[in-house]
Structure 1
Amino acid sequence: MKKIGFLSFGHWTPSPHSQTQSAADALLQSIELAVAAEELGADGAYFRVHHFARQLASPFPLLAAIGARTSRIEIGTGVIDMRYENPLHLAEDAGAADLISGGRLQLGISRGSPEQVIDGWRYFGHVPAEGSDAAAMAREHARVFLDVLEGEGFAEPNPRPMFPNPPGLLRLEPHSPGLRDRVWWGAGTRTTAEWTAELGMNLMSSTLLTEDTGVPFHQLQAEQIERFREAWRTAGHERQPRVSVSRSIFPIVSDLDRQLFLRETASQDQVGHLEGGLARFGKSYAGEPERLVAELAGDEAVAAADTLLLTLPNQLGVDYNAHVIESVLTHVAPELGWR
């Protein structure tokens, strides 16, 4: 059995060709899609976070709303850019959203990817320490965030507080027990995956790796997953980790599917330059269900992961994206033993 959810970037554009023309559309349709996905039997609703872009940005109002409208589906991010985050505010917001959802939050964080503006995190009041850089700052923010999620007191109480304090040092509230084990790191390399395991975070890997060894994407990603699990065993963590990968999968079962995604049937891996280095992008999967079953059966990274996130074109609207989810759950997942 494999958990199957969706990942949405929440794009919106004021174009007559888009079903999502405003920020309000993106937010409200995200809620409706999560509700529909739960009704269809999907396992997760995940959302990308991008700043200074016509995409979803502030995740916790959205996640809390979805948590209040649903009862079973996991809700999460894929991923929050930690260069932009105050880790204590993040811990409070995440704790509240997790409690509202009844402990269903799966929080993906990362050092971030190329953004819309130059050094956008500076506008949020975050500056790397002298001799450091933004990536190191993101990891330090993550370390503080993880420490705070443990729920231990660290703040000296006021001897004359407005309200009575419990004894000892104070922790942040609301605290959500168990959330620390549901933090994921979006790793773009094999080395970062090992670091993720050492810190006891789950691994979130997408269709982009910021390195290339010349092998097909799914094999490079499978190696990343194996190195993560080996590092986890070496670290001696007591619980079992989780691993997710994301894929664009479009079963062609209607004329509209064929019209929209026929050209994706020839999709292949791509290698390009990103932030001064080579990066490998995974291909999309599109075709008749029988063909998809055969192709996905050979995807070593999908086989190795316990969670699959379907990357959806949210501007096609709630109904069409629910159709994509249903098509994968109905025509592909059972044939591969995922359901």
Structure 2
Amino acid sequence: MKKIGFLSFGHWSSDRGAATRSAQDTLLQSIDLAVAAEELGADGAYFRVHHFAQQLASPFPLLAAAGARTKTIELGTAVIDMRYEKPFYMAEDAGAADLISQGRLQLGISRGSPEQVIDGWKHFGYRPAEGETDADMARRHAEVFLGLLEGRGFAQPNPRPMFPNPPGLLRLEPHAPGLRDRIWWGAGSNATAKWAAQMGMHLQSSTLKDDENGKPFHVQQAEQIRYYREAWKEAGHEGTPRVSVSRSIFALTDDRDRMYFGRGGKEADQIGFINDTRSIFGRGYAGEPGQLVKELARDEAIAEADTLLLTVPNTLGVEYNAHVIENILKHVAPELGWR
């Protein structure tokens, strides 16, 4: 059994065929797609965060709005770039959004991906400390954020406050109980997956990672998941950690599907370089449902994960993306024993 959700990059474009022509289109349609996915029985609605791009960037208003419109579906990110985040303000925003959704947030955070601009986090007022890299700064921000979510008091109260204070040191408000246990780390390497386990975060592994041994992507990703789980066990954490993987999977069931995705072209892993690091990009899947069942059954990382996020082409509109999700839930997942 697996939880199955969607992951949207939240693009908008002036292209004639795009259903999302503006940021407003993308935001409102993202909420509508979360509602539609919940009605179909999907388990999660997740959104990417990219700055300086025509894509979703500020997740908490969107998550809060989707939380107010839905009742059961998990609402999450994959991922928030912690180089850009002020942990204190983020803890308040995350707490409010989680309370609105009644405890359904699943926040994926990370160092982030390659940017649209050079050192974009500098424009947000952040600088690595002496001897730090920007990745170190992201992890430092993450550690502060995790500490704040614990809800412990740390601030000395004013002896003459505007409003009466409870006794003791004060914490940030609103506090969302349980949110600390629903934070995920997007890991691009085995080392960062192990660090996430040590910190008590769940693991998100996307469609790319460092090429650490030349094996096929799904094999390397499955190894990463096993390293993560072993590190979680060694750290002595209680509970069972969750692991998600992302995939582009399109079941071809009608003429629209075949027009959009029937021509193939992404059936093999790709090798590239990100920040001078050799990286491997996982293949996509598109085919008739029976063909997909056979191919997906051989994906070792999907087998290891408890959560599968389907990347969706959000610019094709809510109705078509709901159809894409329904195809997987109806024609593929049951045959693989996922549902």
Q: Into which bin does the TM-score normalised by the smaller protein fall?
A: over 0.9
SS of equivalent residue, structure 1 residue 302? helix
- Report deviation, 1:61: 0.5
TM-score, length-scaled by structure 2: 0.99
Q: What one-letter code is carried by the residue in structure 2 that aligns with 1:276?
A: D
Q: What is the distance in 1 between the residues matched to 2:115 and 2:154?
A: 34
1:198 aligned onto 2:160: no
Report the equivalent of 1:62: 62
Report the equivalent of 2:274: 274
Q: What is the distance in 2 between the residues matched to 1:271 and 1:80?
A: 25
Report the equivalent of 1:236: 236
5+ unaligned residues in a row in structure 2: which ranges? none
Q: What is the distance in 1 between the residues matched to 2:161 and 2:133?
A: 39
Q: What is the distance in 2 between the residues matched to 1:252 and 1:199?
A: 41
Write the mapping of 1:103-142 to structure 2, written as runs, cut at 5 A: 103-142=103-142
- Report deviation, 1:213: 1.5
- Report deviation, 1:99: 0.3
Q: What is the distance in 2 between the residues matched to 1:156 and 1:208?
A: 44
Q: What is the distance in 2 between the residues matched to 1:113 and 1:213?
A: 21
SS of equivalent residue, structure 2 residue 264? helix
1:23 aligned onto 2:10: no
Q: What is the distance in 1 between the residues matched to 2:164 and 2:14?
A: 51
Q: 1:211 and 1:265, CA in 2 relative to 1: closer, same or farther beyond 3 A?
A: closer
- Report deviation, 1:17: 1.6
- Report deviation, 1:266: 5.4
SS of equivalent residue, structure 1 residue 264? coil
1:299 aligned onto 2:302: no
- Report deviation, 1:265: 6.3
Give % identity. 71
Question: Which deviates the most, 211-220 or 262-271?
Answer: 262-271
Report the equivalent of 1:220: 220
SS of equivalent residue, structure 1 residue 72? coil
SS of equivalent residue, structure 2 residue 262? helix
Q: What is the distance in 1 between the residues matched to 2:231 and 2:263?
A: 40
Q: What is the distance in 1 between the residues matched to 2:311 and 2:15?
A: 21
- Report deviation, 1:36: 0.2
- Report deviation, 1:210: 2.3
Report the equivalent of 1:78: 78
Q: What one-letter code is carried by the residue in structure 2 that aligns with 1:261?
A: F
Report the equivalent of 1:179: 179
Report the equivalent of 1:156: 156
How many residue pairs align between the two structures? 339
TM-score, length-scaled by structure 1: 0.99
Report the equivalent of 1:289: 289
Q: What is the distance in 2 between the residues matched to 1:85 and 1:150?
A: 18
Are the counterparts in 2 of residues 265 and 285 from structure 1 also a CA contact under 8 Å? no
Q: What is the distance in 1 between the residues matched to 2:67 and 2:123?
A: 30
Q: 1:262 and 1:163, CA in 2 relative to 1: closer, same or farther beyond 3 A?
A: same
- Report deviation, 1:139: 0.3
Are the counterparts in 2 of residues 92 and 175 from structure 1 also a CA contact under 8 Å? yes
- Report deviation, 1:15: 1.6
5+ unaligned residues in a row in structure 1: which ranges? none
- Report deviation, 1:131: 1.5
Q: What is the distance in 1 between the residues matched to 2:154 and 2:264?
A: 53
- Report deviation, 1:93: 0.4
Report the equivalent of 1:36: 36
Q: What one-letter code is carried by the residue in structure 1 that aligns with 2:137?
A: M
- Report deviation, 1:132: 1.1
Q: What is the distance in 2 between the residues matched to 1:111 and 1:180?
A: 18
Write the mapping of 1:309-320 to structure 2, written as runs, cut at 5 A: 309-320=309-320
- Report deviation, 1:212: 3.6
Q: What is the distance in 1 between the residues matched to 2:69 and 2:78?
A: 20
Are the counterparts in 2 of residues 245 and 301 from structure 1 also a CA contact under 8 Å? yes
- Report deviation, 1:152: 0.3
- Report deviation, 1:14: 1.4
Are the counterparts in 1 of residues 186 and 204 from structure 2 also a CA contact under 8 Å? yes
Report the equivalent of 2:168: 168
Q: What is the distance in 1 between the residues matched to 2:212 and 2:10?
A: 28
